[in-house]
Structure 1
Amino acid sequence: MLTLDFNFFVIAAPAVIFAGISKGGFGSGAAFAGASILALVVPPGLALGVMLPLLMLVDVASLRPYWGKWCWGEARLLMISGVPGVAFGALLYRLVDDDFLRVLIGTISVGFVVWRLVLRLDWVKIGSQSMGNYAGAVAGFTGGFTSFVSHAGGPPVAVYLLSKGITKAQYQATTVLVFWVINVAKFVPYAFLGMFTLQTGIANLLLAPFALFGAWVGVKAHHLVSERVFFGLTYVILAITGCKLIWDGLS
């Protein structure tokens, strides 16, 4: 059950702003931190249900500044392959309980941090060789699945796009377009699975200004703030949040 009290909004407002900043300016890679943080205080399914309409709002707000700058061929492949990933996520959701989702979201959160650390240490090279259509389809399917179960589709999509050697603006525009389509595809199964309630709708209305503010900050920060600083903070938040979710799910 979702209780819209002071404690909820103390957690939810910063989480939504953070997600908006990520989607608006840093390629959606860390936007799922909002859902991970919310899952600490509400059931995971409702946390995902609260965040999806807000992420869709940020998608719309972020489309205009990057309109037409995306790489259409890569975006189309990721969108087409992402929809089956969404369907697979919906099937899995019907078969598992809240504790499994907590462990899954926590594992994805910690895995994101480990993945970024591996890249930072140059243990894996991305961008030195362009990935083909098969790799793009796998990235799209994986991104659709992880986006459904935790709003964390950014990492697999990033691996594929960064191998293409595209510019920062092209990367940002492509991820905005791809996840706008994937989030639209997620909306119907979320509704059928009961992840939207009257309480999540009220929360969406009250949190919408925070989401738009985050998107606005993200677009501005895209040109002003170092990605290293932003993601450094993200890693700390996700590592702590992910470990807590795993602990709660297992215990």
Structure 2
Amino acid sequence: MLEVLLLVVAALVVGYSKTSIGGLSAISIAIFANVMPARESTAAILLLLITGDVVAVWKYRRHADWSLLKRLVPSVLPGLALGAAFLAVVDDTVLRRSIGVLLLVLAALQLALRFRSPDTSGLARSRPAALGTGLAAGFTTMTANAAGSVMTLYLVARGVEKSRFLGTGALFFFGVNLCKIPFSAGLGLFTAETLRRTVLLIPFVLLGTWAGLHTARRLSQERFDQAVLAATIVSAVALVAR
């Protein structure tokens, strides 16, 4: 019963994060990685993320920054390929711990940017930063569905305001998550049980997206930035402490 409740909460958070505080999706990643075998959890939550992506794209597509997307996309596919290779050779324990450490490192980087180097927009606008972000996003999203933290780091460093943040992230993750399907299928991660759980949890994802839409309208830019950072830190600690 507790396992079912945790998965329902995770599905609600997935939907909520897709339409409001993106970093919160890492909490769902932590829950799934603890409730299910880590490898299978990446496929299960992927399908829920895509459900949330559809709603987010429909709502925020007009605010997407296509110039940012064009800079990020070229290096995403190599990152996905590296992530798939990593998944093929590691066991559940290594993967779970890797996910936690990765999220914690990303959270630390975000804190460093926020409190030690407030004016980082020049560095973040460079082409190497965009290529590195795309590569890291591809790898982290393939191995842990954790690219939200990478994108948060990049977009916050560039000083992207809330609406553009949500619109750009919505289109980016929808495209990236669709690209991950053949990789996950090739690794044999879409089991019958995974698909069954996904179908049962989709209504809770949609409920979460509705709640997120109402929250996003009320958050100021400052509160939004603080919330996405806090969500990443809490999620990282939850996985590392497991």
Same fold (TM over 0.5): yes
**Code of the aligned partner of 2:6:** I
Stretches of 4+ moved more than 6 A in 1?
none
Aligned to 1:248: none
SS in 2 for 1:29: helix
CA-to-aligned-CA distance 1:164-215 (integer Å, 9 cap, x gap): 4432111110011111111001111111112111111111111001111111
| Structure 1 pair 78–117 and aligned structure 2 pair: CA distance change class (3 A) | same
Determine if the alignment matches structure 1 residue 243 to structure 2 residue 240. yes
Report the CA distance between 1:124 and its aligned residue: 5.9
**Is contact 2:110-2:153 (8 Å) kept?**
no
Aligned to 1:105: 99
Please give the alpha-carbon distance, in whole angstroms, between the structure 1 residues aligned to 2:120 and 2:20. Answer: 21
Report the CA distance between 1:113 and its aligned residue: 3.3
User: TM-score normalized by structure 1?
Assistant: 0.86
Determine if the alignment matches structure 1 residue 9 to structure 2 residue 9. no
| Structure 1 pair 128–73 and aligned structure 2 pair: CA distance change class (3 A) | closer
**Is contact 1:54-1:208 (8 Å) kept?**
yes
Determine if the alignment matches structure 1 residue 23 to structure 2 residue 18. yes
Please give the alpha-carbon distance, in whole angstroms, between the structure 1 residues aligned to 2:91 and 2:23. Answer: 26
* Long gaps (5+) in structure 1: 1-5, 246-251
Please give the alpha-carbon distance, in whole angstroms, between the structure 1 residues aligned to 2:227 and 2:58. Answer: 23
Aligned to 2:231: 234
* Long gaps (5+) in structure 2: none
CA-to-aligned-CA distance 1:208-245 (integer Å, 9 cap, x gap): 01111111211221121433674476256424412223
Please give the alpha-carbon distance, in whole angstroms, between the structure 2 residues aligned to 1:56 and 1:183. Answer: 6
Aligned to 1:150: 144
| Structure 1 pair 161–236 and aligned structure 2 pair: CA distance change class (3 A) | closer
Determine if the alignment matches structure 1 residue 215 to structure 2 residue 209. yes
Please give the alpha-carbon distance, in whole angstroms, between the structure 2 residues aligned to 1:130 and 1:232. Answer: 17
Report the CA distance between 1:40 and its aligned residue: 1.2
Determine if the alignment matches structure 1 residue 169 to structure 2 residue 163. yes
Please give the alpha-carbon distance, in whole angstroms, between the structure 2 residues aligned to 1:134 and 1:120. Answer: 20
Determine if the alignment matches structure 1 residue 180 to structure 2 residue 177. no
CA-to-aligned-CA distance 1:138-185 (integer Å, 9 cap, x gap): 111111100111111123323333344432111110011111111001
User: TM-score normalized by structure 2?
Assistant: 0.89
Aligned equivalent of 1:46, options 40, 52, 73:
40
- What is the aligned-residue identity percentage? 27
The more displaced of 100-109 and 161-170 is: 161-170
- Number of residues paired by the alignment? 239
| Structure 1 pair 199–40 and aligned structure 2 pair: CA distance change class (3 A) | same
Aligned to 2:191: 197
| Structure 1 pair 235–167 and aligned structure 2 pair: CA distance change class (3 A) | closer
**Aligned-residue RMSD, C-alpha:** 2.1
| Structure 1 pair 235–77 and aligned structure 2 pair: CA distance change class (3 A) | closer
Please give the alpha-carbon distance, in whole angstroms, between the structure 2 residues aligned to 1:122 and 1:153. Answer: 23
Please give the alpha-carbon distance, in whole angstroms, between the structure 2 residues aligned to 1:121 and 1:184. Answer: 35
Please give the alpha-carbon distance, in whole angstroms, between the structure 2 residues aligned to 1:232 and 1:176. Answer: 18
